[in-house]
Amino acid sequence: MSEGNESTTRRGQWSSRWGFILASAGCAIGLGNIWKFPYITGENGGGLFVLIYLGCIALIGLPIMLAEVLLGRATQKSPVGAYRDFSCKGSPWVIPGWIGVMTGFIILSYYSVVAGWALHYTWLSLQGGFSGMDAEQISSTFGSVFSNGTLNLGWHSAFMLMTVAVVIGGVRSGVERIARILMPLLFVMLLVLLGLAMQSDGFSEAFSFVFSPDASKLTRAGVLEALGHSFFTLSLGMGAMITYGSYLKKKEDIVSAVVVISILDTVIALVACLVLFPIIFSFGMEPKAGPGLVFVSLPIAFSQMAGGAVWATVFFALLVFAALTSAISMLEVVVSTIIDETRIKRTPATLLCGAAIYLFGIPSALSGTDGFAGEGFKKTTAVVFGEDQGKNWFDTFDYLASNWLLPLGGLMIAVFVAYRAGEAARRKGFEEGTRFQNLYVAWLLLLRYLVPIGVVAVLLHALKII
């Protein structure tokens, strides 16, 4: 393998601390930041929701991310091996490791379909975009994209191929290299769009929507949604950060790295809001458009804007880049586990996992149709979710993964590192390479008490107990 250190250490390694930070920022910053965060902020009335989300990131997400990276770096293994090494051979703690791998598998299978929409919209924008179309036509475009199985299948295939191609390249010449190119590009594109948004009439209205707390607009469900999203956006609970931490040298400072990654992820999510809402407000549209915010409201705004086709291309390309660097992290979790646990080499392992995930994603790509994955699955799942509440294949697995598997995985990590890991190994894992050794006790306290309570609250909410 061409990778620098792989010949000596057998395992890939980041070329530097910044290589790790950029790759991890790439993993964290994704559709969650640019597609999902703005629309849930819109649905939950802005200000106060944002404030609570920031609190969740700092007090719950950050400690868990540190636990994951610590576990990965200390063991130099992907989730299953990391859990095993930090407990003992034959310990049942490998089960959460395997659940994490399964979660990565599931999320990527449908994430690729949403990324496919972004690819399709980039393609549409390149062809002159939405100019000349009225609002009705644009919103029916989104509807017809979702219900067009062949189209979705095509873009799902294209996106999975791109993801597989990067992961085959390995840690340094695949994952890190693409992050080093795409992340700075993403930052620049977002700044350019922010410049555009700042000149629009709606900017001050948008600014106060995002930053002035208004208690009357937030529901109890919104508080818990903020917590759930902090897991998704930081890629926690499925071992992605364990895996990325495992490619890190022992001398690196993980405490400051984790803080930088969380800040980058949060800033990008906030900037995405400050790009979207001014445009939406300037055109007199509602912030509550739901998942269609990016695929319907924004194209409507672009269609009425001078140079709209160019801006639309920039925006949707940015969405594709963000999705790609996240998707590779999910595939990397699955692939690196196969490499660690079997003797299979990277290339066949990637092809095998990529193909399996691709196949599992096909029903997601067909979820807007009348067939088995769409209407058929809705009828079947109505038995579980209740009459008229049935979900298609896509929604079922999104619900399962985001609402259950990620929080459960995060809880497991926190409990494992806080209660099961030995004090000496845990302290060493934290302190190695960092100047912030005095934060150890505060971190451990958060991990022991606040994190489990917070996560259990989300799960109880999902069960409608609180």
Where on the chain is the footprint of ligand PHE (CB under 6 A)? 27-28, 30-33, 107, 232-233, 235, 238, 240, 326, 329-330
Buried residues in 123-139 as b, exposed as e (16+ CB within 10 A):
ebbeeebbeebebeebb
CB of 31 to ligand PHE, least distance (A): 4
Q: Which is nearer to ligand PHE, 83 or 283 (CB)?
A: 83
CB of 240 to ligand PHE, least distance (A): 4
Quote the tokens at residue 307. Answer: 């140079």
CB of 196 to ligand PHE, least distance (A): 23
Burial of 213 (0-12, 13-18, 19+ CB in 10 A): middle
Q: Which is nearer to ligand PHE, 235 or 266 (CB)?
A: 235
CB of 336 to ligand PHE, least distance (A): 13
DSSP 334-375: HHHHHHHHSS--HHHHHHHHHHHHHHHHHHHHTTTSSSIIII
CB of 127 to ligand PHE, least distance (A): 27
Q: Which is nearer to ligand PHE, 102 or 439 (CB)?
A: 102
DSSP 375-393: IIHHHHHHHHH-TT----H
Q: Determine the Cα–Cα distance for residues 339 and 1; give it in Å rounded to an integer.
A: 14
Q: Which is nearer to ligand PHE, 37 or 393 (CB)?
A: 37
CB of 103 to ligand PHE, least distance (A): 8
432 backbone φψ class: left, alpha, beta (φ>0; ψ -120 to 50):
beta
394-401 long-range Cβ contacts below 8 angstroms, 24+ apart: 394/110, 394/113, 394/363, 394/364, 394/367, 395/367, 397/106, 397/109, 397/110, 397/364, 398/110, 400/106, 401/103, 401/106, 401/107
CB of 228 to ligand PHE, least distance (A): 12
**R_g (Cα) of the chain, nearest Å:** 21
Q: Which is nearer to ligand PHE, 329 or 336 (CB)?
A: 329
CB of 101 to ligand PHE, least distance (A): 12
Among 449, 2, 374, 408, which Cα is nearest to 239's?
Answer: 408
Buried residues in 225-250 as b, exposed as e (16+ CB within 10 A):
bbbbbbbbbbbbbbbbbbbbbbbbbe
Tell me if 203 sits within 8 A of 197, measured CB to CB. Answer: yes
Q: Which is nearer to ligand PHE, 12 or 32 (CB)?
A: 32
53 backbone φψ class: left, alpha, beta (φ>0; ψ -120 to 50):
alpha
Q: Which is nearer to ligand PHE, 329 or 364 (CB)?
A: 329
Q: Which is nearer to ligand PHE, 122 or 235 (CB)?
A: 235
CB of 102 to ligand PHE, least distance (A): 13
> If you count them, how many residues does the chain have?
466
All residues at 6 or more sequence positions from 144 whose CB lies less than 8 Å from its CB, including other chains: none
CB of 37 to ligand PHE, least distance (A): 8
CB of 371 to ligand PHE, least distance (A): 28
Q: Which is nearer to ligand PHE, 28 or 280 (CB)?
A: 28
Q: Which is nearer to ligand PHE, 75 or 233 (CB)?
A: 233
Q: Which is nearer to ligand PHE, 122 or 233 (CB)?
A: 233
Tell me if 129 sits within 8 A of 309, measured CB to CB. Answer: yes
Residue 61: other Cβ atoms inside 10 A:
30
Q: Determine the Cα–Cα distance for residues 170 and 172; give it in Å rounded to an integer.
A: 6
